[in-house]
Structure 1
Amino acid sequence: MYRKKISIQTNCGLHFFKELLNGKWKLMLIYYISQGFQRPGELQKKIHNGDRRVLDKQLAELVQHGFLEKRVYNTKVPKVEYMLTPLGNDLVPLIIVMEKWGEAHREELEQGLKNDPKFVNVF
């Protein structure tokens, strides 16, 4: 198992936020689950460019860190559903505010991406 060389700083809530929710799809997964998309297949359809392995790994991390609960139904065809915990539910309003901020500043953000060589093929 991978161990970080630099220890996690715990002197600031922002450090906890960054450490536990840093991941390409984590905030989107929480948001979509809050909107009623609970099965892994449904989530992959919503995040169509997300690799299934990455989505599964990030879902597992969100469960491990207490943002989600995973229910496994013992049926002939195994069925899995994810639900928000109170901690995950508490995060949804913040995600919505960040999404609105992103939309309100779309032009400036797109311009910033155009100037960044890592995002050459995005536009």
Structure 2
Amino acid sequence: MLMYCLHEGINRPSDMQRVLPGISRRVINIQLNQLIQHQLIMKVDYEQKPPKVEYFLTDLGKSLLPLITDLGAWGETNKNLLQTAIEDTISYVAL
């Protein structure tokens, strides 16, 4: 989802958190750092006050966009089935 956000022009972590409200800022930062390590995104740190950081897809990251888009479409198509499976798993673990 973070890579898709970057593709859509959402480059700042605070904006990502607004678009993905179920994800904490800490998790977003951890995943952004992992994506940097895998060279899928790059970080631009603007040395200004207040601090400003933006993230962008690398060419390698852009090459994954067709797969990410297809996976997102698959998720939307199977949303109800997936939600039921998640709820069943949660119910089973709670027992």
Question: Shorter-chain-normalised TM-score: which range?
Answer: 0.7 to 0.9
**CA distance in 1: counterparts of 2:64 and 2:23, whole angstroms:** 22
User: What is the match of residue 55 of structure 2?
Assistant: 82
Q: How does 1:1-123 map to 2 (within 5 A)?
A: 28-117=1-90
Kindly indicate whether the alpha-carbon contact (under 8 Å) linking 1:113 and 1:119 is maintained by their aligned counterparts in 2: no
Q: Decide whether aligned partners of structure 1 residues 114 and 53 sit closer, same or farther in structure 2, where only a CA change above 3 A counts.
A: closer
Structure 2 segments unaligned to the other structure (5+ residues): none
Cα drift, residue 70 of structure 1: 0.2
Higher relative contact order (CA 8 A, sep 6+): 2
Structure 1 segments unaligned to the other structure (5+ residues): 1-27
Normalising by structure 2, report the TM-score.
Answer: 0.86
How many residues are matched? Answer: 93
Structure (1 or 2) with the greater helix fraction: 2
RMSD of aligned C-alpha atoms?
1.8
Normalising by structure 1, report the TM-score.
Answer: 0.68
Determine what percentage of the aligned residue pairs are the same residue. 39
